[in-house]
Structure 1
């Protein structure tokens, strides 16, 4: 994973975890959604790089 994407992914996961602990479930879920989208983007980019070699 690209370092900037990894850093952003980790930040979103950490934010989600912290908000969940504070019982801020809606806000936590928003961060989980962002982390999920970033994860999907990474997989797509890896797939595209493999297919287009």
Structure 2
């Protein structure tokens, strides 16, 4: 994450379909250069898709 709370890269390991979806959403957030709340990203109960919509 950059100093202005934008995601600049993402990585994942595993075989779960959720990981694939999360990576696609992370790519969209990177492309959109969205400013994000770091606490929301660390909260497992927050869905990444909801961050993209917000």
| TMscore range, shorter length | 0.3 to 0.5
TM-score normalized by structure 1?
Answer: 0.37
TM-score normalized by structure 2?
Answer: 0.37
Higher relative helix content: 1
Over alpha carbons, which structure has the higher Rg?
Answer: 1
